[in-house]
Chains A and B, each alone.
Chain A
């Protein structure tokens, strides 16, 4: 079996050490290790983090293999330093049965670039009317624990209550896409001064906040776990802060793009910046950064949403919502949170690995970098910098909002259970 020794890595950006990886496990972590015939990896100056875990990835397979497949999506994930991604349920067919979630889970395993933990739909066909067979998905080999109708909100209050209650039986969590549908009919961008000027239908912050407020109350009422997807507004952060002060079992994620980009970009009418929830004001960006720094927001999740070019090279209202995120996530978090001294690298490990793994209940991920732990490791060069190019991607799609931007950092290597999926910044050959 393979063995690697990562020489002189900065563990969590703090402590210099060699890391010995054998048979999928970290077997030694100390200065100047004698590594025998383990393959040497020069990690001088590189930060070692536990493999990243994404709670919010759209892999598009089955159904939209023109936009992304499990293979290309997990390759993009590996290039971004991820060792586990949660695949959202809005595929075609919808991941609302044990059969579909098992297929997606298996594809991830077979390709070997990144573990794929399927998210099950809350309602049949994401229709918001009838609960999907949540128990069957939980008991399948995919062991689904997170359920979401992401892309759509579970807007019916009774259905949301029942879903929250029902998943208590197997330690599940409902991940809510908080968007009051009536308040956002035809919505195109953040509602504010700019939407009025640009003549684009507004997506008001209150449409998110009203659902977040309702759901934290429901979660408290039934004593179940709620996870709020892609928090984007100051009001949502304030409601979550209040809910947490009550001790309620509520978690939340923020996307890298909501940590960095604002609605000013919509002035270009370039749909590359069209995303749901929409890019918000600079005040909202400040609020979600503060929320992530003080723990109100628990983790970062990419909402990686591949779309073919024809769905972006068009007029704004005809374009699809969504942007790529896996390969740029760590760089954007560095830029928005670490370079601004709001998070340390061990905080980054917490919000991009430990906590999301705990929320998704994936046991082999998000573990500490310590002897005896699974060897899921990413080596990251925070001193690098590069101008991002839309064609420099493993994804089948090109809809990155960062093209032409200078982003810091570079993922040098990713190890999944001891096997490199990325080495020297390039995808490794993964034996099937």
Chain B
């Protein structure tokens, strides 16, 4: 198993399947009356959030706590980070406190990579979203959710729609789903596809309707209305007409297809309320699965180290 989780591309197919299988076992914990395992007792997980993200932070916090880890939340508001402390000094502080794992969310692409490779800190680094680079645990929980509905993802068709250019979710999903054998199509206006997307292991399309008929999954990405100020598209209405998922478009999907969204949604922009709340929508389930997948990631990364406590943890699980 890898030491850090910085990018979906760090994972082999075996690693990815192991995480998903482990998450499957851990999901059952959530349905027990006592939702707690002693696996990471005595280990410290730091949630280092330089960007607001209630949803992801709470998910990681719940995951760590259900594994009995000690959790320290460190967000940029109300900490020395907002007083201008550098990433390096923050990392040295966490190292001095003995963090076993650091879950980092940062607005700058590559910040988790810096933490993992600049020798400021020894713990495992988990990327919880960095700039417009990656968000690998989101991709894992998306793959996990797909797998629960569709079985093995090999040969499954996944259509990802929206602001691919700025989306770390799209990058991580494109990489992970290809590793798992799925066929990914990215749909976006040309302005919102990155330069060089031709080299990604995906298909691309500028047109949504044609990418729905055979899709097993359609994943809508959040699009910020402000993007129109940078002329990425003419208006929110035009975007919505051309790339939004409404009931008319949803009807084009095969019977078994599911609708996903990493949240938070812009209802009425990339997805209508009818679709978001429809029976095909697995958006709420994604949140539930997020905890199980993050438990699996924490467990596998932290039990990958060699001290006695983690050996014990492996046996207990």
Report whether chain A binds chain B.
Answer: yes
- Where the two chains meet, the residues of A that have a C-beta atom closer than 8 Å to any C-beta of B are 188, 191-202, 204, 268-270, 310, 313-318
Instruction: Write the nearest CB–CB distance from B165 to chain A, whole angstroms.
Output: 8
Q: How far is the CB of A199 from chain B (nearest CB, A)?
A: 3
Is the pair A200, B109 in contact by a Cβ cutoff of 8 Å?
yes
In Å, the complex CA distance between A194 and B117 comes to 19
Quick check: is B134 within 8 A (CB to CB) of the other chain? yes
How far apart are the CA atoms of A270 and B119 in the complex, in Å?
12
Which chain B residues lie closer than 8 Å to A191 at the CB level?
195
**Cβ–Cβ contact A315 & B111, under 8 A:** yes
Given known A-B contacts A269-B113, A313-B86, A314-B86, A199 and B130 have beta carbons under 8 A apart: yes
B:275-305 near A, CB below 8 Å: none
Q: Are A195 and B131 in contact (CB under 8 A)?
A: no
Contact assessment for A314 and B88 in the assembled complex, using a CB-CB cutoff below 8 Å: yes
Number of A-B contacts (CB under 8 A): 76
Q: Which of B109, B132, B134, B196 has the most CB of A within 10 A?
A: B109
Residues of A within 8 A of B199 (CB): 193
- Complex CA–CA separation, A269 to B118 (angstroms): 10
A272 to chain B, nearest CB (A): 11
| Contact B130–A310 (Cβ < 8 Å) | no
Give the contacts of B127-151 with A (CB-CB under 8 A): 130-134
Contact residues, B159-186 vs A (CB, 8 A): 168, 171
Given known contacts A197-B171, A199-B168, A268-B117, A316 and B109 CB-to-CB distance under 8 angstroms: yes
Q: Which residues of B179-215 have CB atoms within 8 Å of chain A's CB atoms?
A: 194-197, 199-200
A195 and B196 in contact (CB under 8 A), knowing A313-B118, A314-B87, A315-B87? yes
Interchain CB contact under 8 A, B106 and A315: yes
Q: Which chain B residues lie closer than 8 Å to A197 at the CB level? A: 171, 196, 200
User: In the complex, given contacts A269-B109, A314-B88, A316-B109, what are 19 additional A-B residue pairs having Cβ atoms less than 8 angstroms apart?
Assistant: A193-B195, A196-B194, A196-B196, A197-B171, A198-B109, A198-B110, A199-B130, A199-B133, A199-B168, A200-B131, A201-B132, A202-B195, A268-B117, A269-B114, A310-B86, A315-B108, A316-B110, A316-B114, A317-B107
On chain B, the residues within 8 Å of A202 by CB distance are 195
A318 to B106 Cα, complex, angstroms: 12
> Do B109 and A193 touch across chains, with their CB atoms under 8 A apart?
no
If A313-B86, A313-B118, A315-B108 touch, does A196 touch B131 (CB 8 Å cutoff)? Answer: no
Cβ of A276 to closest chain B Cβ, rounded Å: 17
| 16 residue pairs A–B, Cβ–Cβ below 8 Å | A191-B195, A193-B196, A196-B197, A197-B171, A199-B109, A199-B110, A199-B168, A199-B171, A200-B133, A269-B109, A270-B114, A313-B86, A315-B106, A315-B110, A316-B110, A317-B108
Looking at the assembled complex, report how far the CB atom of B173 sits from the nearest CB atom of chain A, in whole angstroms.
13
Nearest Cβ on chain B to A194's Cβ, whole angstroms: 7
Whether A318 and B108, one on each chain, are in contact in the complex, defined by CB atoms closer than 8 angstroms, is: yes
In the complex, what residues of A have CB within 8 A of residue B113's CB? 268-269
Residue of B nearest to A309 (CB): B88
Q: In the bound complex, do residue A315 and residue B196 qualify as a contact, i.e. CB atoms below 8 Å apart?
A: no
A179 to B197, CA, bound (A): 25
Most buried by A among B132, B133, B194, B197: B194
Residues of A within 8 A of B114 (CB): 269-270, 314-316
Given contacts A310-B86, A315-B87, contact A194 B196 (CB under 8 A): yes
Q: Which 10 A-B pairs have the closest CB atoms?
A: A199-B133, A269-B110, A193-B196, A196-B194, A199-B109, A315-B108, A317-B108, A199-B132, A196-B196, A315-B111
Task: Tell me the nearest residue of chain A to B113, going by C-beta.
Answer: A269
Residue of B nearest to A194 (CB): B196
Question: Is there contact, CB below 8 Å, between A196 and B88?
Answer: no
A320 to chain B, nearest CB (A): 13
**Using Cβ atoms and an 8 Å threshold, which residues of chain A touch B111?**
269, 315-316
B133 near A198: Cβ-Cβ < 8 Å: yes
Q: In whole Å, how far is B47's beta carbon from the nearest beta carbon of chain A? A: 18
Known: A313-B86, A315-B111, A315-B114. A192 touches B133 (CB 8 A): no
Query: A317 with B109: in contact, given A199-B171, A269-B114 (CB under 8 Å)?
Result: yes
Closest chain-A Cβ to B80's Cβ sits at a distance in Å of: 15
- The interface residues of chain B lying within 8 Å CB-to-CB of A313 are 86, 88, 118
Q: B residues within 8 A CB of A195? A: 194-196
**Please, which residue of chain A has its CB at the minimum distance from the CB of B106?**
A315
**Which chain A positions have C-beta within 8 A of B87?**
314-315, 318
- In the complex, the chain A residue whose C-beta lies closest to that of B111 is A315
How many Å lie between the Cα of A200 and that of B132 in the bound state? 7
CB-nearest residue of chain B relative to A199? B133
Contacts of B171 in A (CB 8 A): 197, 199
